[in-house]
Amino acid sequence: MAQSRPLSGFLTPDVIQQVKDALRAYGGRGALFLGNFFVSKVIAYFGPLVLAAVLSAQHYGELELALSIAMMLALFAVFGVANALPQLVLLRNPVPVKDILAILTGGASAVFLVAGAIILIFTGNLVWALACCITTLTTIQYSASAYAKTHSLRNIATWVDNFTLVTATILGVGLAAMGYGHSPTLAPMLIVFAVLAVACTAACFYIAKTTWQPHMIDRLKRAMRLGAPLIIMTIFSSWVAAAAGRTLIGFTLPIEDMALYAFLFRIASLALVIHYMISTAFYAPFYSMSARRFEQIIPFYLAFVACVCATFAIGVPLLLPYLPSNVLTPETITVGQHIFPVLALNIYGVNVSASLESRVQRVRRVTWGTLNAAIVSSLVAAAFIALAHYHLLSLRAAVWLITAQTLICTLRYMDVLARRGMYMPKVATVVCCAYAALGVLALLLGG
């Protein structure tokens, strides 16, 4: 019988020296990244919850609706160039992209600012005017985030990836501290967002001027050719992942229901922190990962996230009565306790969808993935409109519709990949089992 090798046999001087060299080379940078990631994510995820405590329920709901509208409008802004950066920088001969990204971002931001001014002057709709100002900031966020991730600027990416939410939190808390949290209108909030949006737009044009490179038009055409097919998929994936619920509920149910849904959605989204940390720190290697390696690693990750979502589904409803928020009342707490387990299931589906998107792009099946998402989203939107027209739509029914949309889209993503020859039986098994378990939990706890 062979004797076990003592631990000292593995810890040779060479191994110890390699560990020391690795810690010396990467330890400081790793600690800096984790620090930046932690602080930025704390503000981005807990900031909206703080806003719900310092703003009135109506203002919080209107702000969340504006953020949701901005999330979708900003995706059209730069004609898919931001989506094309991984292919331009990571999979092909690297080309200069900073100047074309800056000029497109600045131009689009200026257009949204003008649109907001026109809406305000001719209609007086403060929510849509605010949405246009926030769209400017969101457009800058998308472009800066894509550039930082593809160039492995991890510490910068942690902040620009949450730029809109961080600024919204800071501005909202500042306004509340000055006594405007319960003001009769959104005018004070609109003013501060407009000033910041103008400053950021000017900064984009300055960057474009100082980084100008030859052959800009040719590079721009190439980037748009690559990005155009991807932008449609990004629009529908963003719609399914985050914007659909707040937008559809915001236009079909009272603003108080919108505020409650947004508040609970923000809490449930805390389960996505792990995904965003991995995608921010390892975006380039994750995008370039082989199908075999993906099948080996991702099932364990998705199983872990399922456990986190199950913990949220059980624990958060118990904590709702103790959370400080102007959105929560005795009536809304009861409703929230019933719908939160369903939201936890939805958030797990969002995590699965985000994990599969890069695979769909890699196998060049963006059109099929987008078509499936478009069909499902259209059917769900039609169901919202029909139920609202006949006064049959409740917040609970709305949450189940949004969750069904997310789950169906992720299953269709896996079907698209399988048809392309990328069979992932381990991923499929974990996802289906997790959906079943979380679905049963949602029915038992929420109904």
Average pLDDT along the chain: 85
- Who's near 40: CB < 8 A, 6+ residues apart? 158, 159, 161, 162, 166
Give tens-digit pLDDT for 106-164. 999 999 999 999 999 999 999 999 999 999 999 999 999 888 888 878 788 888 888 99
Residue 229 one-letter amino acid? P
Residue 421 one-letter amino acid? G
Half-sphere exposure of 332 (CA within 13 A, CB side): 21
- Who's near 390: CB < 8 A, 6+ residues apart? none
Please check the confidence at residue 93 and state whether its pLDDT lies above 90.
Answer: no
pTM: 0.80
Residue 368: both structure tokens together: 């099929």
Comparing 22 with 279, which gets the higher pLDDT?
279
Give tens-digit pLDDT for 49-71. 999 999 999 999 999 999 999 99
CB 182 within 8 A of CB 83: no
Residue 378: both structure tokens together: 């259209």
Residue 299 one-letter amino acid? P
Residue 308: both structure tokens together: 């986190």
pLDDT of residue 295: 82
Please check the confidence at residue 29 and state whether its pLDDT lies above 80.
Answer: no
DSSP letter (8 states) at residue 214: S
Helix boundaries (H) for 76-125: 81-85, 98-122
Please check the confidence at residue 332 and state whether its pLDDT lies above 90.
Answer: yes
List the one residue out of 416, 407, 403 whose CA is nearest residue 370: 416
Please check the confidence at residue 79 and state whether its pLDDT lies above 90.
Answer: no
Half-sphere exposure of 294 (CA within 13 A, CB side): 22
Residue identified by tokens 């800066």 is: 144
- How many angstroms separate the CA atoms of 347 and 397, rounded? 17
Classify 211 as helix, strand or coil: coil
Query: What DSSP letter does each residue of 371-421 carry, written as one string?
Result: HHHHHHHHHHHHHHHHHHHTT---HHHHHHHHHHHHHHHHHHHHHHHHHTT
Look at 41-50, 234-243, 423-432 and tell me which has the smallest mean pLDDT: 234-243
Please check the confidence at residue 255 and state whether its pLDDT lies above 60.
Answer: yes
DSSP letter (8 states) at residue 88: I
